[in-house]
Amino acid sequence: MIEKTITIMNRAGLHTRPAATLVKLAASFKSEFYIFKDGMNINGKSIIGVMTLAAEQGSTLALKFEGEDEVVASNAICEFFEKGFNEQL
Amino acid sequence: MLFANFLKKDLMNNSNEKIEEVFKGIAASPGIVFGEVYFFTKHTPRIEEKNISSQNIENEITKFEHAIKRSEVELLKIQTLTEQKIGKSNANIFEAQILILNDAILFKTICELIKRTKKNAEYIVNLEITKYQQLMLSSADEYMRERAHDVEDVKNRLIRNIQQEKLISRFKNNTIVMSETLTPADTVLFSRNNILGVVTETGGTTSHAALIARSLRIPAVLGAKGICNSIKNSDEIILDGNRGVIILNPTKETKKNYHARQKEFEKFERRLEKLRDLPAVTLDDFEIGLSSNIEFVEEIDYIHSQGSHGIGLYRSEGVLIGQDIIPSEEEQFNAYKAIADKTFPFSVIMRTFDIGGDKVVDEHVKEENPFLGFRGVRVSLASEKFFTTQLRAILRASTRKNISILLPMISSLEEVRESKRILEKTKDDLKNENIPFDEKIKIGVMIEVPSAALLAREISAEVDFLSIGTNDLVQYLLAVDRGNENIGNIYQELHPAVLRTIHFVISEAHKAGKKVGICGELGANPLATLPLLGFGLDEFSVNPAMLPEVKKIIRSITMQDAKRVALKVLELSDTNDIKNYLKEELHKVVPDIPIND
């Protein structure tokens, strides 16, 4: 199991489009992927769940990866967050 | 006492009789119609909790799977229709709903719950999706609460499809549709039904509902506050989209009166059609600029068909609608280039983002007085990067040399100079990068704040042209929020102080040798055409639906007459005197014109 903490960099937060990309990315790995925020525990492969997070700019999320490809998955997903969802910041 | 009670009862009996009532809203799409009201409400399905026998569980899950597929087909259809009607960027709003339908985790969870609890599919779907909906609704973030509506829409759609109910057309043919608010999806469905007219409590002339109503030529009155509480299903009303008026239970006399107006308007429209290809020139040969206000590229075909010579106001906020974030330079460039190309050989005045106030408010900025707050050029100047991105996109789109830049909400000379400094710097950057643009691009200032009006001469000296934005100017000059129903009657476009201010701005700009246009609603008010021409206004930019009418007036008068009327108006100091005088003068030159009261 791998646990990471990340901060949302984008001005508009984790809105619909990056949420969709994140979910797609997460689904490409076999590992389970969960996001924790303010006591909520969300399956990172569920768009409706990720949308519910309302993660605005500056908010901190805890990520949990568990499964055979957890190292690759955590690297790829953390990079996605760090790069600001590949959008203009 | 007994007598008093009797009297009271008698009065109440009378009040049960149908009494004519008049409601005022915003004239969003022209035309006069008579008809029955059809209340449009959201479809909320009834959900029963049922137990499912073990052998029927697979069947229940199949029903759920089919419902997902059907819902997706429906949504894709609406999305395509939206794209055709109001453009791709506006169709993005359905993206979230389609994504939710395809949520594999949600699907799995629901299937497992059906198996485990042995309950019917719609009961579980409702239970599970409502959870998320409630979490979103409790959010402090406005964007998130908006998404909760998407979630509710998709939930109701799914449940309806599980129950295998058909999507009943929620609009009844040959009725006037009334609703508190209409989403783009609702509005798009107009095109499939024969709707007589549209009335809503919210929304203005630039809302999607207005835009679509105009392009489909459906008369509409929007922003009629409180109307849903006063009018019931099947009530008989008259909708006057020319004046933004709704009349409930019209008397025989009112009906007769409006039938005549309707006929007149139809005749008038037919006569206007003949004017389309004729120039906007006065009887004594003064040619006047006549262009349109638009927000979306999809409107350009319509303005051409109305005989518009270009765009006097492009509200660039159009590119922000349906977007979660500020579009990139490239996305903005593509949008502006499409506008410039489609308008060519005519030109377009692009107003930089006028966000704040009542338009596209950033949900993180909550203000006590948004109209006196962070809006227009103030937002642009607060973030040079944000401003530069837009300016770069506009400059890059200017290679056909048919774009001018307009700055909204200027209230001081310093803001003009700072904006110009950033524009020059942006131009230098582009030059250094060898990116082509119109080096002589014109820049203008919107006059909508009284301080800017008083500084008209100094501001004109700094820029190439001025454009008077009368909606805000009237609001700031008279200290009236026109959306406030308690004081709406104080909002008077033809107030002597407004007309004198406009006259002052035009004269001061002309002293500096600069041209002045008008882009507020006053420019399309037929009563204002004569005095505005007489003041020396160089260009009218109006709602394209009103354009032929303004042209008709311009072609019916002489500049000499206009000057005489303008001088006389400047002497009058009472709004009603001004209105009456202008009605009289207008009737002399265009006797058949329908005039607002």
The complex's ipTM works out to: 0.87
Average pLDDT over residues B311-324: 82
Compare all CA atoms of chain B with the CA of A10 and give the residue at the minimum distance. Answer: B325
The CA distance from B204 to the nearest CA of chain A, in Å, is 26
Strand partners, B37: B176
Query: Lowest-pLDDT range, B118-127, B147-156, B258-267?
Result: B147-156
Phi/psi of residue B445, nearest 5 degrees: -120, 135
| Cβ pairs bridging A and B (under 8 Å) | 62
For the question of residue B519 being annotated catalytic, the response is: yes
**Dist CA B142 CA B126 (whole Å):** 23
Q: At what angle do helices B575-589 and B547-556 cross, to 10 degrees?
A: 70
> Which of residues 52 through 81 in chain A touch B, CB cutoff 8 A?
52, 54, 56
Task: List the catalytic residue out of A2, A4, A13, A15.
Answer: A15
pLDDT given for residue B265 in this prediction = 85
B540 to B27, B504, B546, B553: CA distances (angstroms): 19, 17, 11, 12
B257, B263, B268, B269 alpha-carbon torsion, rounded to 10°: 120
pLDDT given for residue B163 in this prediction = 87
Domain range summary for chain A, segments of one domain joined by +: 2-86
Does A38 contact B at CB distance below 8 Å?
Answer: no
B8 pLDDT band, cuts 50/70/90, is very low
Tokens describing residue B175: 């009725």
Do B60 and B114 meet the contact criterion of CB atoms below 8 Å apart?
yes
Residue A84: which region, alpha, beta or left (left: phi > 0; alpha: psi -120 to 50)? left
pLDDT given for residue B205 in this prediction = 62
**Dist CA B140 CA B533 (whole Å):** 50
Asked if A27 lies within 8 A of B102 by C-beta distance, the reply is no
Domains of chain B: 16-42+170-252 (3.50.30.10), 54-162 (1.10.274.10), 283-589 (3.20.20.60)
Do B220 and B182 meet the contact criterion of CB atoms below 8 Å apart?
no
Asked if A46 lies within 8 A of B151 by C-beta distance, the reply is no
Asked if A20 lies within 8 A of B99 by C-beta distance, the reply is yes
Compare all CA atoms of chain B with the CA of A87 and give the residue at the minimum distance. Answer: B328
**Per residue in B483-507, pLDDT tens?**
666 776 788 999 999 999 999 999 9
Question: Residue B438, SS3?
Answer: coil
Q: ∠ CA B363-B367-B371 to the nearest 5 degrees?
A: 105
Asked if A11 lies within 8 A of B325 by C-beta distance, the reply is yes
pLDDT given for residue B68 in this prediction = 95
Chain B residues lying within 8 Å of A46, measured CB to CB: 103-106
For residue B539, pLDDT over 80 is answered with yes
Compare all CA atoms of chain B with the CA of A34 and give the residue at the minimum distance. Answer: B105
CATH 3.30.1340.10 is held by the domain A2-86: yes
Nearest to B325 among A15, A47, A52 (CB): A15
The bridge status of strand A2-7 relative to strand B348-351 is unpaired
Asked if B141 lies within 8 A of A15 by C-beta distance, the reply is no
Nearest to A54 among B95, B141, B151 (CB): B141
Asked if A12 lies within 8 A of B132 by C-beta distance, the reply is no
DSSP conformational letter for B323: -
**Per residue in B388-429, pLDDT tens?**
999 999 999 999 999 999 999 999 999 999 999 999 999 999
pLDDT given for residue B330 in this prediction = 94
Chain A residues lying within 8 Å of B132, measured CB to CB: 48-49, 51-52
Asked if B99 lies within 8 A of A47 by C-beta distance, the reply is yes
Nearest to A43 among B105, B324, B326 (CB): B105
* Nearest partner of B184 among B287, B278, B91, B317, judged by Cα: B91
Query: At B221, which helix (H) or strand (E)?
Result: strand B220-222
Tokens describing residue B233: 């299903």
Tokens describing residue B82: 């939206």
Asked if A48 lies within 8 A of B100 by C-beta distance, the reply is yes
Task: List the catalytic residue out of B309, B495, B503, B519.
Answer: B519
C-alpha of B52 from chain center: 50
Residue of A8, A22, A48, A86 to mutate when probing chain B, most B C-beta within 10 A:
A48
Average pLDDT over residues A56-85: 90
Compare all CA atoms of chain B with the CA of A11 and give the residue at the minimum distance. Answer: B325
pLDDT given for residue B46 in this prediction = 84
pLDDT given for residue A89 in this prediction = 43
Does A83 contact B at CB distance below 8 Å?
Answer: no
B57 pLDDT band, cuts 50/70/90, is very high
